Amino acid sequence: MIPDLAALHAQGAAQQPTYPDPAAVDRAVARLRTSPPLVFAGECDDLKLKLAAVSRGEAFLLQGGDCAETLAGVTADNVRNKLRVLLQMAVVLTYSGSVPVVKLGRLAGQYAKPRSSDTETRDGVTLPAYRGDAVNGFDFTLEARTPDPQRLVDVYNASAATLNLIRAFVNGGYADLRQVHTWNNDFVRESPHAQRYEQMANEIERALTFMKAIGADPDEFHRVDFHSSHEALVLEYEHAMTRIDSRTEKPYDVSAHFVWIGERTRQIDGAHVDLLSRIQNPIGVKLGPTTTADDALALAAKLNPTNEEGRLTFITRFGAGKIREGLPDLVEKVTAAGVNVAWVCDPMHGNTFTASSGYKTRAFDDVIEEVQGFFDVHRAVGTWPGGVHVELTGDDVTECVGGGEELAEIDLGNRYESVCDPRLNRVQSLELAFLVAKMLRK
């Protein structure tokens, strides 16, 4: 049912590391194959049901996290901060946008990156490009940049630790709605968004007290459903983590609940599309501005031949300047063909530019403009703008310009920590949530 790894590679796989030692690859893959699943098939099925509600226009997807996780970034504070900002955003969207929100972390596996070039040259020295901690190290030395398959095992262990912490937070009381104020603690008090959030939290608290007083205290108040996702990029990792579920006897990629195919690896005859066509997880595909309606229809036919609801999510990332022109045709034709899909907007990857200081950045206004374009197009066509996919962090980094704090290009150097693409910081993320909630209300 699943081709072996060599057969998969033979189909042509873009963006793969070139490992110098094949025996070491075999050892790492063998280790992964015997490692326990990170998620259960039944949990993937639950998420698929939730995404089916998104595709029907009954729920909204919030998917977010780092562009690239790092092994060093797996600390309790870091994971909690990311979860916290996602919980805050979700409660804003649910309360102000009046819609159920499906919460999906871009975490516990988001360690491999596609790159525009195989190499990087600095001061006349050319080395392999950094492809994420799953592949090689960020330091610009030959040793660090040489792909090391043991890193796949390290990433598995880091993902297990991350998920363990997330599960404990989510089920152990941290995600309890009565914590709605606590999530806002230690936030910059002067921020108008923090104050706006405080106001909303007061209203929620009053509503909770009222519900309790009338005897209603459902389980949903005390915990949330939270799922994991990452780009399925390195075939060794995803293949080794694909297992036959004993209950259904069908294959699942148990490295995450949801995996997606990136813009650079969505070739219809390529290995990534083939592997993901064979697993049962809910999956996504990134669609950039050159995507034709025929491309999208071919992907849907191959990845979801039974047209199952919730199975397929199209994550469009056109760029603020292109979405209004490019998206309508795609949405109209896919809809006319009767294809079941959840439409989600990634307002990050079409809006990256290099600041004069040399930092890769994105403008908050472009991010908002793309989301607004996404809403406008879907409203005009009569389809549901199903969600947002964002690169963000719970920390006060300075990687994207603009937003309420009016971060300028000159500020980028203050706290630029991403090893790949620029992320929205905590204030910008919360601001985005309030703006999207407003779009949802209209």
Is residue 264 a known part of a binding site? yes
- Known binding residue 189? Answer is no
Least CB distance to ligand PEP at residue 266 (A):
8
Whichever of 97 and 262 has its CB closer to ligand PEP, that residue is 262
Is there a binding annotation on residue 442? Answer: no
Cα 253 to its chain centre, rounded Å, is: 16
Q: Residue 323 CB, nearest distance to ligand PEP (Å)?
A: 14
Query: Candidates 86-94, 259-267, 356-364, 371-379 — which segment interacts with ligand PEP by CB under 6 A?
Result: 259-267
Which value, in Å, is the radius of gyration of the alpha carbons in the chain? 21
Report if residue 67 touches ligand PEP, rule: CB under 6 A: yes
Distance CA 295, CA 172 (A): 44
Annotated binding residue at 56? no
Half-sphere exposure of 291 (CA within 13 A, CB side): 36
Residue from the set 263, 309, 370, 399 that interacts with ligand PEP by CB under 6 A: 263
- From candidates 230, 272, 317, 378, binder to ligand PEP by CB under 6 A: 317
Question: What are the phi and psi torsion angles at 244 (to 5°)?
Answer: -85, 125
Q: Rounded to whole angstroms, how far apart are CA atoms 369 and 353?
A: 16
In which residue are the tokens 């008090």 written?
189
Q: How far is CA 153 from the centre of its chain?
A: 21
Task: Count the residues in the chain.
Answer: 442
Contact between 286 and ligand PEP by CB under 6 A: the answer reads: yes
Is 345 annotated among the ligand-binding residues?
no
Q: Pick between residue 239 and residue 317 the one whose CB is nearest to ligand PEP.
A: 317
CA gap 277, 248 in Å, rounded: 17
Is 317 annotated as ligand-binding? Answer: yes
- Candidates 37, 114, 289, 404; binder of ligand PEP (CB under 6 A) is 114
Per-residue contact string for residues 346-385; x = within reach of ligand PEP by CB under 6 A: ---x------------------------------------
Total residues contacting ligand PEP (rule CB under 6 A)? Answer: 10
**Which residues between 1 and 60 bind ligand PEP (CB under 6 A)?**
none
Q: How far is the CB of 74 from ligand PEP (least distance, A)?
A: 18
Q: Which stretch binds ligand PEP (CB under 6 A): 47-55, 208-216, 260-268, 328-336?
A: 260-268
> How many Cα neighbours within 13 Å face the side chain of 147?
25
- Rounded to a whole number of angstroms, the minimum distance from the CB of residue 138 to Mn ion is 15
Give the dihedral of Cα atoms 78, 313, 14, 330; nearest 10 deg: -130
Where along the sequence are the contacts to Mn ion (CB under 5 A)?
Answer: 67, 421
User: Which partner, Mn ion, ligand PEP, none, binds residue 37 by CB below 5 to 8 Å per kind?
Assistant: none
Residues that bind ligand PEP (CB under 6 A): 67, 114, 231, 262-264, 286, 317, 349, 421
Q: Binding site for phosphoenolpyruvate: residue ranges?
A: 106, 263-264, 286, 317
Q: Binding site for Mn(2+): residue ranges?
A: 67, 349, 391, 421
